[in-house]
Amino acid sequence: MNTQIIKIETEKYRFNELSTIVSVLKKNGLIVYPTETFYGLGANCLSPEAVKKIFVLKRRDPAKPLPVVISDRNMLDSLAAEIPPAAEPFMRLYWPGPLTLIFPANPLLPEELLGATKSIGIRLPAHAGLRDLVKKAGFPITATSANISGKEEFSDPKKVYEAFAGKVDCIVDGGKTRGGRPSTVIDLTPPIPQILREGAIPASELRKNIECV
């Protein structure tokens, strides 16, 4: 596979770059892109064909769901079967940002995306360029880390090239990302929100501001 390389300035995409990347996504292609933490592996989350490619490339257990990124709150409505009242303080305080919220999934979403669950992890990223990309695409894209399942995440584009050149359709080189810790994950499907993964937003900060376990 011939992998196209697109280099961008920090969090900025030119119009023609957005158009090129969106064209790849609309043809069920795979991209690697920078986020506010690590590089992500992206595909049209509404396409079963594209989602299957992600699982194969990452060697990911098909029973595990894939999280997605959205461009704005309006896009959330097409993904979540409902938005629990408990979601509001999390979104108000920490979106855009490295916080993945798990909602009951719209039953019309591809089974491949949801794995063995009936829920979906959604993030509104702090990376402005990524929000622009998703908005231009008109659909959410997968937000799993660009790595083989169980291996380290990448913040250095050189390591991204080594791992994915020739295996994805497009790599967006945004330079070295911040790294650190991945997004914090909160499950909103129980009566009281549960912290499933402590990441970039510490659990202590979340519990100080919002009731969660």
Residue 212 has pLDDT above 90, yes or no: no
Q: Which amino acid is at 181?
A: R
Question: What is residue 10's predicted lDDT score, i.e. its pLDDT?
Answer: 73
Percent of residues, the chain, with pLDDT higher than 90: 90
Query: What integer best gives the mean pLDDT of the chain?
Result: 95
Confidence of residue 66 (pLDDT cuts 50, 70, 90): very high
pLDDT recorded at residue 11: 80
pLDDT at site 190: 94
Q: Return the CATH number at 116.
A: 3.90.870.10
Cα radius of gyration rounded to whole Å, the chain:
16
Average pLDDT rounded to a whole number, residues 137-152: 94
Question: What is the rounded CA–CA span in Å between residue 98 and residue 36?
Answer: 7
Query: How far are the Cα atoms of 31, 154, 158, 168 from residue 6, in angstroms, in the given order?
Result: 10, 17, 13, 13
At 184 the three-state DSSP class reads strand
- Dihedral sign (CA 151, 156, 157, 158): negative
The pLDDT, as a whole number, for residue 168 is: 98
pLDDT of residue 47: 97
SS3 68: strand
pLDDT at 128: 93
Beta strand extents in 1-81 (DSSP E only): 4-7, 31-34, 39-42, 68-69
Domain of 121? 4-209
Position 12 confidence tier, pLDDT thresholds 50, 70, 90: confident
> The tokens of 68 are what?
């997605």
Residue 213 has pLDDT above 90, yes or no: no
- Residues 11-34: what's their mean pLDDT? 95
Looking at the structure of the chain, the number of domains it has is: 1
pTM of the model: 0.94
Least confident of 8-12, 67-71, 103-107: 8-12
> With left for phi above 0 and alpha for psi between -120 and 50, is residue 138 left, alpha or beta?
left
- CA end-to-end distance (rounded Å), the chain: 45
